[in-house]
Each structure stands twice: as structure tokens, then as C-alpha cells.
Amino acid sequence: MTAPALHTRPLFDELPYQHTFTARVLAVSDQGVALDQTLFYPTGGGQPGDQGHFLLPDGSAVAVTGTQRDPLLRSIIWHQLEDGSRAELHAGMELQGCLDWERRYRHMRMHTCLHLLCAIVDAPVTGCSIAVDKGRLDFDLPESTLDKDRITQSLKELVDGALDVNVRTLSADEYRGLPGLCRTQVPPPQQGDGTLRVIDIPGVDLQPCGGTHVRNTAEVGAVTCDKIEKKSRHNRRVTLRFS
């Protein structure tokens, strides 16, 4: 059972490049293990939940196979463990969390690259998916004017431009004053204090986003527009891959 008093501090917002952390177990349930703080990003916004492992006080390691927010109490983040491992943890236990950093960093690079893609394709976004080797966005485009080679070249120019990727916070009033800010059909979730977290690549893209990103577009590396597909009358899917 979850309890309203439980709250997980999302360290991944403050420290996206940190690999390890210490935490205290708040609860153990069928949903997984909740900690007082975590670097593990929970599934959301097209980005998969982080994986890695916990180091317990006796020196043993327990694999973390996935991470999700509680469907009702969004301030709680549950860490799914390999079968049978929950029995080894209990409320109050202190442990060390260790990210699968290579996997997470590839997600950060691709997530940032999809923001660059948004700057290239001027259309509402209807879907998003991120993986370690690829990512894709779906756009509301009744007629396709997209070209794979042009997108690949445009992405290269933005990556090679070594542009800073900044995290900003907007108040509710500031967000209402920018009606065209959100490109997705689903309104972005506000933070607990009513503010909105946005990713700002100056002069290129400004978008509400809760995911993890690199600090500079140069970190994205080489990418290629792999496919452009017609998924429905008003939907074009653009898939990118790391080169």
C-alpha cells in the first residue's frame, strides 16, 4: 500500500550526470521499492525508466530492472527489482543506488536530439519513443514534405554547432503567456509548486520536458535520419539512429 506521506526526491533533475547516490528505503510493495531520493529516471515522456542496481548494507547487489512513478501518487517513484529481491529490503534500510550509466547517457543524447528534430520539423508532435540506439517522433502532417538527407544534414549542423542545452523553470503565468510553447497534444505536467520545467536550446528549441538531457548538443554525436513513415492520414513518423 502507498501512503500520501511518501515522497521521492528526484535527484535526476538536479544531477543528471551523477552515477551513484545513497538513499533510505521508504516502502516495499508489489509495485517495487520506494526511496527517499533517487537518480533513477522513471518511465515517462517517451523515455524509458532507468536500470542499474542497489548495493545493500551486507555488500550484496540487487538488480533494478525498471523505474516508474506511482499511477496515483506521482511524487512516489517505484524501482522494480529482479524476481524475489524485494524480500531483502525493508523500510528504513540505507543503500547505494548505481545507474546503468551507459544506457542512461544514450537516452540523454537521443532525447536531446529529438528536441533538435522538433526545431527542424514545424508540426505538432503526436508521439515519442526513445531507446538506446534510436528515437522517433510522430508529427501531425497530412502531407509529407520531409526528406531524410535534409534532416540528417540539419541535425549534423545543430550538433556540430555545440549549442548549450539549458534547463529553465517557468511560472504558471509565464507559461500561459506562451501559448505556442507546447508542441505535444497532451498538456505537460506541472511541478508540485505549479511551475513548469522547460528545456531551452537558445534560438533553436524551447519545450516543456521532464526528461534528462545532455548539457551541449555536441554530446549527441553522429545521428542519421533512418526512416520516414506514413502511419496514418495525418501522421508521419521520423526515426533517428546513432551513426
Q: Percent of the chain, pLDDT > 70? A: 92
| Of the candidate ranges 4-13, 31-40, 48-57, 225-234, the one whose mean pLDDT is the lowest | 4-13
Task: Read off the pLDDT of each residue in 49-69 and give the average, rounded to a whole number.
Answer: 96
| Residue 101 in grid coordinates | 550509466
Residue 157 pLDDT > 60, yes or no? yes
Quick one: cell of 11?
A: 535527484
**pLDDT for res 223:** 98
Q: Which three cell numbers stand for residue 155?
A: 541535425
pLDDT at site 3: 47
Instruction: Give CA separation, 97 vs 28, 58, 129, 176, 222, in Å.
Output: 16, 14, 26, 38, 31
**Domain spans of the chain, in order of start:** 9-99, 103-242
Higher pLDDT, 18 or 192: 18
Phi then psi for 239, rounded to 5 degrees? -110, 130
Q: What per-residue confidence (pLDDT) applies to 171?
A: 83
Q: Say whether domain 9-99 belongs to CATH 3.40.50.920.
A: no
Pair 12, 42: CB distance under 8 Å: no
Mark 54-78 as b/e (b = at least 16 C-beta within 10 Å): bebeeeeebebbbbbbbeeeeebbb
Residue 189 has pLDDT above 80, yes or no: no
- Higher pLDDT: 174 or 175? It is 174
Q: Which of 27-41, 125-139, 155-169, 177-191 has the lowest mean pLDDT?
A: 177-191
**Residue 191: band (very low, low, confident or very high) from pLDDT cuts 50, 70, 90:** low
- Return d(Cα 33, Cα 64) in angstroms, integer: 10
Q: Which residue has the higher pLDDT, 183 or 120?
A: 120
The answer on pLDDT for 2 being more than 50 is no
Alpha carbons 196 and 63: distance in angstroms, whole number? 33
72's grid cell: 496515483
Task: Give CA 107 to chain center in angstroms.
Answer: 7
Q: What is the pLDDT of residues 197-242, one digit of tens each?
A: 999 999 999 988 999 999 999 999 999 999 999 988 889 999 999 9
Instruction: Select 103-242's CATH number: 3.10.20.30, 3.30.980.10, 3.30.70.3420, 3.40.50.1220.
Output: 3.30.980.10
C-alpha 97, offset from chain centre: 18
Q: Residue range 53-79: average pLDDT?
A: 95
Q: pLDDT for 74-92, tens place per residue?
A: 899 999 998 877 778 999 9
